[in-house]
Every structure is written in C-alpha cells, then in structure tokens.
C-alpha cells in the first residue's frame, strides 16, 4: 500500500511541475492581459473580461518590448481584428505584429481610435506601452 501511495505522489508531483512550467512561461502584460505567440511574426492579446482598447494596446506594446526586445520607436500593427481567441477559449482577442508585411494588403493607419482594432491600425510601441499606465475611467 505504501509503495502505491509513493508512486502516486511521484506521478502527481511530476505532472504538477510540468503544468506549472507551462503557466510560468506564458506572458502577462502590466494590465493583466495574456499574450500568446502564434508565430514568429504574430502574437495574440487576450485581456481579462471587459477589456478595452487600452488593455489590447498595452498588452501589444508590453509584449513587444519585454518579450520581443522591440525598440520604442518600432510600429505595432493589428494583424487580425477583434474576434475569438486562437490560443484560449475566450471570445475577445486581437492579433498584432511588428511586421507590416503581415497585414494581408491592408494599409497601415497610424494612431487610430483606441477601441477600433481594425486590421492595419498601428501605433508606435512607445504609444502602446503608455496605455499600461492609464488610470481607469471614472477614477
């Protein structure tokens, strides 16, 4: 009986460690949005429930700087408009890229309305990152 119990403890410990390693590798932005890479050029921002444009742009800018090492002067583009997440079961996600060639023919539009999130919407990483420090509405 003790042997079965110790084997179960070892299996449980190993599976828990593997599960934690995957969660620890995920990127979380300063406004708690999850950012998941889809390829070397495209990443998906999935904010917490009720996320606004501030959360999407903050996640994109934060990921570009801290995970990809992009300079503050680089441009970040919406490569897929808001829609269901490809990496989670969430209904709202936006995909971004630093590569203008990933826009599928859409023309880049610099400094769009903050909540629009259309393919081609673009801003400097510096501007996107600045949304991480915005106070909530009504504060």
Instruction: Write the DSSP symbol of residue 132.
Output: G
Contact 45, 61 (CB under 8 A): no
Q: Listing from the earlier edge strand, what are the strands of the sheet with 75-83?
A: 27-28, 34-37, 42-46, 93-97, 75-83, 121-124, 109-110
Q: Rounded to two decimals, what is the model's pTM?
A: 0.78
pLDDT band at 3; cut points 50, 70, 90: low
Q: In this model, does residue 93 exceed pLDDT 80?
A: yes
Please give the pLDDT value at position 43.
Answer: 96
| 9 vs 103: which has the higher pLDDT | 103
| pLDDT > 90 fraction of the chain, expressed in percent and rounded | 67
Contacts of 119 (CB under 8 A, 6+ apart): 78, 79, 80, 81, 103, 104, 106
Question: DSSP letters of 31-52?
Answer: TS-EEEESSSSEEEEEPSTT--
In the chain, alpha helices (H): 2-25, 53-66, 125-130
Rounded average pLDDT over 20-47: 79
């Amino acid at each position: 009986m003790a042997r079965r119990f110790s084997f179960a403890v070892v299996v449980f410990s190993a599976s828990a460690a593997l599960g934690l390693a995957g969660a620890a590798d995920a990127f979380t932005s300063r406004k708690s949005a999850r950012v998941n890479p889809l390829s070397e050029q495209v990443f998906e921002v999935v904010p917490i429930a009720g996320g606004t444009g501030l959360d999407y742009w903050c996640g994109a800018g934060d990921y570009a700087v801290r995970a990809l090492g992009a300079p503050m002067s680089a441009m970040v583009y919406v490569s897929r408009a808001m829609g269901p997440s490809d990496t989670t079961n969430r209904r709202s996600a936006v995909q971004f890229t630093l590569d203008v060639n990933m826009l599928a023919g859409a023309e880049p539009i610099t400094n769009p309305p903050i909540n629009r999130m259309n393919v081609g919407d673009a801003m400097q990483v510096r501007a996107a990152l600045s949304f991480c420090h915005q106070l909530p509405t009504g504060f």
